[in-house]
């Protein structure tokens, strides 16, 4: 048991979250596409419900409803129904949903999905019980998730309306995203995992990394929690579509293996008596993943057998007459496409291009690249 795991365990006891009696099975939902390397991709009911409730709570707290309607005169948020679903919540469904959103608003809306230990622990528990129709264990003992009674009541109360009005559409969106991402992972996953592990001078995890695909996630559209290493990615976020899905997956996974870079930067800064830059390691991960994946995607797009790789909009890199459009002639890495380097990382981009890129190309050593970047700070 690692130090962080022990902390989570002690936190669980202190917060009234006992360890579950038994964990439900965790099958890969992508089994129809054959076993995938590196990742296992899941579309879980409780994970999706959790993120929907969190999103609604954040919207209610900020009084800026996005993607949800207001329910009658009460002004309480009502889950946006999916096309083809029943248009109206029953009184019981509405009450269950309102109580759940109110609970999340009071307890979770001010906490961050990535940095709150409580929310990380809750997310992982809900993921482990994705095959269960309940969380209390009332019907099936192995489906007792070990959550506090009030939270169990809240989630099960919201589940009825969510299952009837939104979950089928969310699950379809998740499975459609997985269907598009699975071939990319199958073709490139092993090679990319080896390459990135080599760059960061570490080992890729022996076990496949669990990826919880949710219709919505956090504001960034994806996040990663550690110990255990798990990725959550929003299937409906436009930033995560097409070939970008592969980059987002490996960028998020890199959070779990890039510790040697972060430590090396900190060590070099201390030796040079310089303040440790807060985001340099993160900019480096964005840069590295994009630069490693870009030539693979461009090569696949030009494959002589006529294959075309999905572009960032979910289409392909070929126009109707079979030629690639100039817009999609080359893949643009995520950080450049989303303008991250224009949000305070301009100097980082210059340093990465000048000092880290030669390391990626095998022209300088890891230690020299780190030393030169820190020297340029």
pLDDT (tens digit, 9 = 90+) per residue, 271-315? 999 999 989 999 999 999 999 999 988 766 544 443 444 444 344
Q: Tell me if 3 is assigned to some domain.
A: no
Q: Tell me if 33 is assigned to some domain.
A: no
Residues 282 and 134 in one domain: no
When pLDDT is cut at 50, 70 and 90, the band that residue 89 belongs to is confident
Q: Tell me if 29 is assigned to some domain.
A: no
Residues 112 and 255 in one domain: no
> pTM value?
0.82
Neighbouring C-beta atoms of residue 9, cutoff 10 Å: 14
Residues 198 and 315 in one domain: yes
The verdict on whether omega for the bond into residue 144 sits within 30 degrees of 0, i.e. cis, is no
φ and ψ at 89, to 5 degrees?
-70, 145
Domain that holds residue 211: 173-375
- The set of residues, in sequence order, having a beta carbon less than 8 Å from that of 32 and lying 6+ positions away, is none
Rounded-to-integer distance, Cα 105 and Cα 107, Å: 6
pLDDT in tens, 325-364: 444 468 999 999 999 999 889 999 999 999 999 999 999 9
Residues 275 and 139 in one domain: no
Cβ atoms of 194 and 204 within 8 Å: the answer is yes
| 230-234/209-214 β-pairing | parallel
> Quick one: which of 334, 357, 335 has its CA closest to 344?
335
Domain limit, last residue, from 129, 148, 171? 171
Domain limit, last residue, from 121, 143, 171? 171
Residues 156 and 299 in one domain: no
Rounded-to-integer distance, Cα 238 and Cα 245, Å: 10
What total number of domains does the chain contain?
2
Per-residue pLDDT at 81: 59
Residues 76 and 86 in one domain: yes
φ and ψ at 209, to 5 degrees?
-80, 125
Domain limit, last residue, from 144, 171, 198? 171
Q: Tell me if 37 is assigned to some domain.
A: no
């Amino acid at each position: 048991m690692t130090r962080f795991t022990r902390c989570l365990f002690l936190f669980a006891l202190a917060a009234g979250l006992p360890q579950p009696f038994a964990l439900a099975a965790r099958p890969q939902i992508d089994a129809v596409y054959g076993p995938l390397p590196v990742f296992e991709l899941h579309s879980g009911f409780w994970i999706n419900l959790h993120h929907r409730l969190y999103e609604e709570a954040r919207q209610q707290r900020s009084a800026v409803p996005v993607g949800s309607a207001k329910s009658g005169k009460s002004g309480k948020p009502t889950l946006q129904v999916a096309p083809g679903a029943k248009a109206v919540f029953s009184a019981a469904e509405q009450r269950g949903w309102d109580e759940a959103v109110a609970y999340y608003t009071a307890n979770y809306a001010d906490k961050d999905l990535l940095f709150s230990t409580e929310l990380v622990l809750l997310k992982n528990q809900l993921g482990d019980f994705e095959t269960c129709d309940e969380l209390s264990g009332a019907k099936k003992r192995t489906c007792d998730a070990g959550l506090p009674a009030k939270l169990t009541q809240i989630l099960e109360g919201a589940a009825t309306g969510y299952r009837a009005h939104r979950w089928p559409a969310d699950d379809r969106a998740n499975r459609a995203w997985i269907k598009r991402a699975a071939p990319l992972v199958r073709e490139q996953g092993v090679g990319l995992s080896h390459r990135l592990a080599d760059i960061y001078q570490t080992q890729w995890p022996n076990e496949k990394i669990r990826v919880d695909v949710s219709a919505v996630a956090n504001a960034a559209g994806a996040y990663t929690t550690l110990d255990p290493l798990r990725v959550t990615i929003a299937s409906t976020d436009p930033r995560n579509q097409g070939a970008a899905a592969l980059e987002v997956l490996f960028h998020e996974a890199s959070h779990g293996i890039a510790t040697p870079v972060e430590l090396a930067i900190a060590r070099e800064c201390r030796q040079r008596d310089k303040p440790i830059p807060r985001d340099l390691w993160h900019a480096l991960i964005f840069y590295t993943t994009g630069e490693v994946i870009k030539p693979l995607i461009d090569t696949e797009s030009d494959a002589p057998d006529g294959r075309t790789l999905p572009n960032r909009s979910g289409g392909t890199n070929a126009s109707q007459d079979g030629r690639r459009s100039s817009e999609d002639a080359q893949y643009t890495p995520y950080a450049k496409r989303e303008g991250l380097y224009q949000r305070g990382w301009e100097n980082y981009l210059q340093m990465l291009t000048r000092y880290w890129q030669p390391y990626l190309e095998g022209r300088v050593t890891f230690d020299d690249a780190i030393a030169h970047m820190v020297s340029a700070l």
